[in-house]
């Protein structure tokens, strides 16, 4: 097996070099956009990647289309320092620099935005699985604490962008539409339709998508339907309005974890029954989520120096979760407001910019727990009313000196409290918990060594209070003793492009020390709860490189690019004791020592294209004691397609494979699981194919 992996990797990295000998002349122009030319919006930089004093990665539409078009998981896993897991179809969780430690499902400890509109709620949760990539044009990932401008997080920030922008590319077609159909193994069926209207003053896009799958394992069916409307309008030369409205209806089954022996015997099975508990299939374990979200953002320029951006959002989620031990229902109401004043002055040698404002988030949830009788509600267990609010003011200044030095400094403070009331208790009075506020500074600097090479460094403090799902986990207890986790991150990086932009790279080394780390634990019946577990020491190196071997739009082979990302972690617990056990010095649970992802992208003039990638992930500890490790794996993926533009329409055909090496592995492990049920097996070798039509 190791030999075949080495051979495969050699082919992936060297195959593109073969056509180079046939290409004697290479054009300096390129239809493939250069990553270094992407404008970064995060930290109010509005600068190219080479001029941004932060560790930032970008996922474009081209990166997303490298894979199945039905999931963001493989594209996000090409980013160094980022790991997205899928325990079952539709059940995602996202880790940035080790923030997975406290996330049994979903996304915690990471702030998410739609452009400038808050997407993460006041309870600290982000339903990232409700997003369809058909409605997203670009993802920015800001790695490391971003509290100085984005509030409570220690993992980082994800900013989603849409392509529709009034006043931009006004020469584009006024009306355009795109339809895509995909089918594949295990009953995969997906379709999306998108219609866009655009003129110099107004843009609008409607997106509809549907995806369904029977799943690889027993009890892993899923279905998701999405409607989305987004756009922007120039109300005047000074005033621009943007919006997004989306409705998602999602259902997916949760098969539960298996022991290693169960996975080896039959990886397709769901969690079986035991003498004490029924199985996942018997209890119809699943998630039902219906969410309506509306957001609006207005940018107004008072003059050449002063402007304001104000954004607001509201959302409602109807959530149901039949679980093995209970049946939980949640009605979640969310609201948010973000406003900031921007001041910009100076040109030429000195350029100065200040952003200051406030973000407010509010959540009110009605949470009820019942017994679960084969997927139906039984006797009431708990009735809770919980609300949470977060408020944080922020200010950041940026100073550009002679086009060589960029300095950023910012600070914010976070105010978090929650109220809870248990109607099923004798004392059903309303109780309040207020957490101590934190001062969250960030300092960063970038020095342009040359016009194509930059050195940057930063220091920032992160703060993340427990989420409502941790204060009040699904088993029903309320843990008011949980405290926020916080810590300082320091990093240094080098990024640039050489050989007229052909070779691009970004390398970062960082050290993050977390205090009061929130860690997931599981009780005797498999229900989760959370504790503060001392601290962590996290040293890491992240690297991304890409090289354009061929870049000639006039040749038969228009472009050949090879790329590779590497994540190298040395994470360990510090001062972590529970009972008689001392886990200090143990490797951080659920975090791989290294992840290397490499690939090749080939585009030809006749319209044929090929994308191949190989993800090599090391083994990782499954419990805090490090007594059990998940084995490493090598994930080979490939996609072959053809695109052709005609006079008024276009056609595309594609086919691909996932897990081409037929590896038995778990993409989303249940850490610290009782009964050694750590593993959620991912599909073995599988295939997909489809077509796109544009007009």
The pLDDT of residue 611 is 97
β-bridge pairing 188-199 and 175-184: antiparallel
Domain 2-24+42-694 belongs to what topology? Maltoporin; Chain A (2.40.170)
pLDDT score at 306? 96
C-alpha–C-alpha distance, residues 473 and 123, integer Å: 12
Return all residues near 165 (Cβ < 8 A) that are at least 6 apart.
203, 232
**Residue 454 to residue 498: CA distance in whole angstroms:** 12
- Give the single-character DSSP code of 584: T
pTM of the model: 0.91
pLDDT, residue 364, reads: 96
Q: What is the helix (H) or strand (E) element at residue 63, kind and residue range?
A: helix 61-64
Tokens of 642: 């053809």
Identify the CA nearest to 126 among candidates 84, 80, 75.
Answer: 84
pLDDT in tens, 290-327: 999 999 999 999 999 999 999 999 999 999 999 998 99
Answer yes or no: are the C-beta atoms of 466 and 483 closer than 8 Å: yes
Write the CA distances from 280 to 74, 219, 271, 324, 374, integer angstroms: 27, 7, 5, 6, 9
Let me know the angle formed at the C-alpha of 155 by 464 and 163, rounded to the nearest 5 degrees. 115
Q: For residue 689, how many other CB atoms are within 10 A of its CB? A: 18
Extract the residue ranges of the chain whose pLDDT is less than 50. Answer: 1-32, 170
Q: What mean pLDDT value characterizes the chain? A: 89
pLDDT, tens digit, 9 for 90 and up, residues 99-140 = 766 665 667 788 999 999 999 999 888 898 999 888 888 999
Q: Return the pLDDT at 17.
A: 38
457 and 483 Cβ atoms separated by less than 8 Å: no
pLDDT number for residue 11: 38
Residue 146 CB coordination number (10 Å): 29
Which residue, 690, 668, 686, is CA-closest to 677? 668
State both tokens at 616. 């090599």
Domain regions of the chain by residue span = 2-24+42-694
């Amino acid at each position: 097996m190791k030999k075949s992996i080495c051979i495969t990797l050699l082919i992936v990295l060297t195959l593109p070099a073969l056509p180079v000998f046939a290409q004697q002349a290479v054009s300096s122009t390129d239809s493939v956009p250069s990553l270094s030319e992407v404008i970064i919006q995060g930290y109010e930089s509005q600068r190219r990647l080479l001029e941004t004093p932060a560790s930032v990665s970008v996922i474009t539409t081209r990166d997303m289309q490298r894979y199945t078009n039905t999931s963001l998981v493989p594209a996000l896993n090409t980013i160094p320092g980022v790991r997205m897991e899928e325990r079952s179809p539709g059940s995602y969780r996202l880790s940035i620099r080790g923030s997975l430690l406290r996330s049994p499902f979903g996304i915690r400890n990471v702030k998410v935005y739609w452009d400038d509109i808050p997407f993460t709620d006041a309870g600290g949760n982000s339903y990232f699985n409700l997003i369809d990539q058909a409605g997203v044009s670009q993802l920015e990932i800001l790695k490391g604490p971003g509290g100085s401008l984005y509030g409570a997080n220690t993992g980082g920030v994800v900013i989603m962008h849409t392509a529709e922008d009034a006043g931009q590319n006004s020469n584009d077609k006024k009306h355009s539409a795109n339809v895509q159909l995909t089918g594949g193994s295990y009953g995969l069926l997906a379709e999306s339709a998108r219609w866009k209207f655009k003129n110099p003053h107004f843009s609008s896009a409607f997106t509809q998508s549907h995806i369904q799958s029977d799943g690889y394992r027993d009890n892993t069916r899923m279905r998701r339907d999405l409607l989305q409307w987004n756009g922007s309008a120039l109300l005047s030369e000074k005033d621009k309005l943007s919006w997004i409205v989306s409705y998602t209806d999602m259902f997916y089954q949760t098969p539960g974890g298996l022991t290693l022996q169960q996975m080896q015997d039959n990886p397709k099975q769901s969690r079986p029954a035991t003498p004490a508990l029924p199985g996942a299939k018997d209890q119809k374990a699943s998630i039902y989520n219906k969410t309506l979200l509306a957001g609006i953002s207005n940018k107004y320029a008072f003059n050449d120096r002063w402007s304001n951006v104000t954004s607001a959002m509201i959302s409602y989620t109807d959530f149901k979760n039949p679980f093995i031990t209970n049946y939980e229902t949640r009605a979640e109401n969310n609201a948010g407001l973000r406003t900031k004043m921007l001041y910009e002055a100076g040109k030429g040698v000195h350029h100065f910019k200040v952003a200051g404002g406030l973000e407010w988030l509010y959540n009110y949830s009605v949470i009820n727990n019942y017994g679960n009788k084969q997927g139906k509600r039984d006797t009431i267990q708990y009735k809770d009313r919980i609300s949470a609010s977060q408020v944080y003011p922020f200010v950041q200044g940026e100073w550009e000196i002679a086009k060589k030095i960029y300095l950023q400094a910012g600070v914010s403070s976070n105010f978090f409290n929650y109220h809870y009331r248990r109607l099923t208790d004798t004392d059903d009075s309303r109780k309040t918990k207020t957490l101590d506020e934190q001062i969250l500074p960030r300092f960063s600097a970038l020095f342009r060594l040359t016009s194509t090479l930059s050195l940057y460094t930063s220091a920032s403090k992160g703060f993340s209070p427990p989420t409502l799902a941790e204060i009040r986990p699904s088993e029903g207890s309320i843990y008011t003793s949980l405290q926020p986790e916080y810590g300082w991150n320091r990093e240094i990086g080098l990024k640039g492009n050489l050989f007229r932009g052909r070779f691009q790279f970004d390398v970062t080394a960082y050290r993050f020390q977390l205090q009061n780390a929130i860690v997931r634990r599981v009780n005797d019946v498999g229900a989760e709860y959370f504790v503060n577990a001392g601290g962590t020491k996290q040293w890491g190196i992240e690297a991304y490189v890409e090289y354009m071997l061929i870049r000639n739009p006039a040749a038969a082979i228009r472009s050949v690019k090879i790329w590779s990302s590497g994540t190298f972690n040395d994470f360990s617990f510090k001062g972590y004791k529970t009972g008689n056990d001392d886990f200090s010095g143990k490797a951080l649970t659920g975090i791989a020592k290294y992840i290397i992802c490499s690939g090749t992208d080939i585009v030809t003039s006749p319209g044929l294209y090929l994308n191949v990638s190989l993800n090599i992930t090391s083994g990782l500890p499954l419990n805090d004691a490090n007594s059990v490790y998940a084995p490493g794996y090598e994930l080979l993926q490939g996609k072959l397609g053809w695109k052709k533009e005609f006079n008024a329409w276009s056609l595309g055909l594609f086919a691909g494979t996932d897990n081409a090496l037929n590896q038995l592995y778990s993409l989303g492990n249940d850490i610290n699981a009782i009964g050694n049920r750590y593993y959620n097996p991912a599909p073995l070798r599988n295939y997909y194919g489809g077509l796109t039509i544009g007009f």
